[in-house]
Structures are given as C-alpha cells and as structure tokens.
Amino acid sequence: MSEYKMWIGGKWIGAESGKTYPVFNPANGMEIAQLPLGGKADVDKAVDAARKAFPIWSKKPQSERSQVAMKIASLLRENAKELGMIDTLDHGTPVKTAAATVAGKAVNFEWAAYNARSLMGHTVPQSPNELAYLQHEPIGVVALITPWNFPLSMILVKLAPALTLGNTCIIKPPSIDSLAALKLAELLEKLELPPGTINVITGPGSTVGESLASHRGVDMVSFTGSCETGKQIMALASQTVKRLHLELGGKNPVIILEDADINTAANAMAARQFSNAGQICACPGRFYVHEKVYDEFLEKFTAATQKLVVGDPGDEKTDMGPLVSAEHRDRVEGYIRSGLDEGAKIVMGGQKPTALPMKNGYFVMPMIFTNATQKMKIAREEIFGPVAVFMEKFNSDAKVIEMANDSTFGLCSYIWTRDMARGMRFANEIAVGTVWLSNALTLAPELPWTGYKESGIGEENSLYGLLEYTNLKRVHVDLTLTK
C-alpha cells in the first residue's frame, strides 16, 4: 500500500492537516492507498500558485501552448497502458478497454492544439473612422471538478481546452478515484511548465470542492457530476459570480419504433446500458418499445445481456466490472428495492454475487425491470448502475414523445427506426442535447456535448466547448485621432 502526495505549485506536498484517507479496490474491497485529505488551506495554496502562474502561462504564444498540448497527447499514448491499469485497480474499469479509453483522449489535446491556433477574433465594421474588433482571452484560474465514472478521461476532456487556451488549472479529482490524476501530474511534471500551471488536490467535495467553488481566486468552475452537486456548486459560485460549466445527469429515453432493426438495436443498447456497469451519464435510462415489437426486443435485449461476462476487471474476458464503491452499490440496490416496492417486475439479475472473488467486491449483476410507469422513482431518477428500465408499451408517436420529454433531464436520446424521415421528426421533438438515430454512441472532440433542462449548462468538446474557457473582449479604436 502506498501513500501519495498532492501536486501544488510544482511541488509534491501532503495536506496541511497532515491527515490522509483510504481508497479501496472496488473489485475486492481491499485498501490500496492513502491519499492526502485536502482542505481549505490546501485550496488556498493551489489557488495562490495558479494565480501566480497565470500571467506567465497566458502570455506565452498560442503556438507554444499548442506544442505543449501535443506533447501531452504523446505522453498519454506512451503511458496509456499504465494509466489504464490504474483505472482498473482504482475504479474497476475492465482491462480490455481501460488503456484504449485513456489513449483515445490524446485526440482531445491534439484537437485543442490545432483549433486553439485558429480561434481568432474578428473585426466589426462600424464606420470609416472607427475600428471595432473582438478577441478571445483566457479566463484565468479554472477549477476542474471531475466525477468518478471515468476518473481520468473526464479530467483530460476538460484540461485539454482549458490549459491550451492559456488558463491555469486546479484539478479536483473524485476523492475515491484520484490515483490516475496523481499519475497524470507525475507525467506532466516532465514538461517543466511554470509552477502552478496545473495543480492536483485530493479530498472530498464537501471541503475541497466547495472551497474551490466559493473561492474568490477561482475565475471558473467546470464540473461534471450529479445534478444535486451541480446545484450546490452553482449556489456557491453565485457568491462571486464566477463562470460556470456544468455537465450533469440524464435519464435518457430509448425509443424503439415498430420498423426498427430489432436485433441490431437490442445488441447495441445492451452494450450501452451495461458499459462501465451503467455508470455513464449517456446510458439508457428509460426504454419505450412499440407494442408490436416489445416482446421481440425484450427477448433479444435479455439474451444480449446474459452474454455479458461480469467479473474481475483485470481479466481480459470481463465485459463489466464492479460499481465504484460500497456506498454507490448500496444506492443502486436502494433503487432496485424501490422499483419492486412500486410494482415493477424483474426479468433478470439485480442480485449480489455470492461466490468469491466477486463476493467481496462492489458488484451488482446486470438487471432488467419491466412494467415501469412514469411516476416510479426508477423511471424519474438517474440510477447510474447496471439497471435497465423498460416502460409500458406504446402505440402512438405523439404519446411516446410526450412521455420521453416528461423528465427534469434532457441529456440525450436513442431512436431506432428504418424510416429516417420519421426518425428526424422524433429528433426535432425530443428535448435533449444529443439524439442518436439508429446509432449506439458516437463521441468526438469535434462534436459538442451538452444538455437541456437540469442536464447542465454549457458545452463540452467542439469549438463551442473551446469558447467556454475564454472571455470575449470588444475593443474600439478611433481612427481619426492623430498625434
């Protein structure tokens, strides 16, 4: 077991309090490390370091900052296997996908590097005697508060644009999944950036996260996580009216129309539902299946689910590992009990493994609910676990659109049909940020990721996402003035 330090101001230091806290391997429940228990005093140090670094880093030519981003992309590819192994140990990410997930985020830094160099302002013609022009400038000190479902990937998605555009960053990784963030800091140390350009501080959201959100020295908070925590951050950030980017939860509708390719849809949606043990904001949340194909789709979806290998995330054969923590496992099990109490029926799964080695880990077997209604808790709240929720059958396009939109969330939706014109009419009516038409999941740094309603504020990825990390300045020049 190892004891780690935080990276603040270009130095490895312990918490001001001298305290540490344990983290556990979710596959077996064993303690694997002790991390510094950061607090307000440590946040003050990190903010001070980031503020001192900002005038140095932000004034470097964009070409130089873009070269740094390209070097980070290379470091990620070179160290993807080790970083992936840390995610497997710390989070339970199946080893068959862990390294590729990390390496894939190298593209985010390359994309930011290329596009930051072309993110120019423009002139606005006012009159023959006046020049008005617009320019984008870095915001300042940005706090990146990231979730545990993809502990390293979510950091990289935010760090790429924030850093490349000239901001200095304070990374607050998830308290239970911080090892990959600290390894990332170790790699970034090799770049010899101005001290304080990037800082990593560990500890709980109730102290570190709240201190960052309310700190006067923090100019922006970019947060990904639960809607409840996002609202708390919004309230704290309002005290200093700082810039906010919030990527929150979803309860995403899947609509299976009667002309869909049922076999393809069932296999694709089963893979998406149980990927990362269902701990993905873009996972299906509610299945609406047309009455003509309901039984066929449910049968094929169940068959696809039964083929998934659940077990040791260090085994190359494993498709689905454990949930991230005992606390989250208990939360998911609470939703399962709620579904049963409210009258939903279990088709398969939902139980805890009783055999070793999974018995001691935080596993919940893939499960499928049917007969769920709009008012049930499992149909309205984000479960964030390996639980598929099948709603009652439908036979009306207008009605299913109404039910799909009956949610406080608006992150994404999946619509399966062979009739693209009909599918596009659905896409126009569903109140979400992303719609996949007969497609499982496509993400890329060129494409924006955003949500409607309580699913968030602002854009991740794309040129829109780059602009989130800049201030827009307007400058006027009187051309009639002479010496």
Query: Phi, psi at residue 359, to the nearest 5°?
Result: -55, -35
pLDDT tens column, 153-164: 999 999 999 999
CA 267 to chain centre: 24
Close Cβ partners of 128 (under 8 Å, ≥ 6 residues apart): 479
Amino acid at 64: E
- Please tell me the distance from the alpha carbon of residue 211 to that of residue 172, in angstroms, as a whole number: 11
Q: Which two tokens stand for residue 130?
A: 């006046």
In our burial notation (b when 16+ CB lie closer than 10 A, e otherwise), range 17-43 reads eeebbebbbbbbeeeebebbbbbbebb
CA-angle at 247, arms to 56 and 188, nearest 5°: 35
Segment holding 429, helix H or strand E: helix 420-429
* Residue from 187, 184, 143, 158 nearest 44 by CA: 143
Give the per-residue pLDDT at 482.
Answer: 62
- Catalytic residue among 281, 412, 454, 468, which? 281
pLDDT at 1: 57
Residues of the chain with pLDDT under 70: 1, 482-483
- For residue 414, the cross-strand partners are 254, 436
- pLDDT of 243 reads 97
> What are the residue ranges of CATH 3.40.605.10 in the chain?
2-248+455-474
Measured CA to CA, the distance from residue 469 to residue 163 in angstroms comes to: 9
Which pLDDT does position 119 carry in this prediction?
86
283 is catalytic: no
> pLDDT for 46-66, tens place per residue?
999 999 999 999 999 999 999
- pLDDT for the residue numbered 483: 60
Q: What is the pLDDT of residue 66?
A: 98
The correct answer on CATH 3.40.309.10 for the domain covering 252-444 is yes
Neighbour tally for 100: CB within 10 Å: 11
| DSSP at 290 | B
Write down the pTM of the prediction: 0.96
Beta carbons of 419 and 262 less than 8 angstroms apart: no
The structure tokens listed for 194 are 């101005």
d(CA 260, CA 78): 42
Contact in structure between 386 and 365 (CB atoms under 8 Å): yes
- Residue 388 phi, psi (nearest 5): -90, 135
Q: Is 247 designated active site?
A: yes
Which option is the CATH number for 2-248+455-474: 1.10.10.10, 3.40.605.10, 3.40.710.10, 3.40.50.720?
A: 3.40.605.10
Q: Which of 169, 210, 227, 247 is catalytic?
A: 247
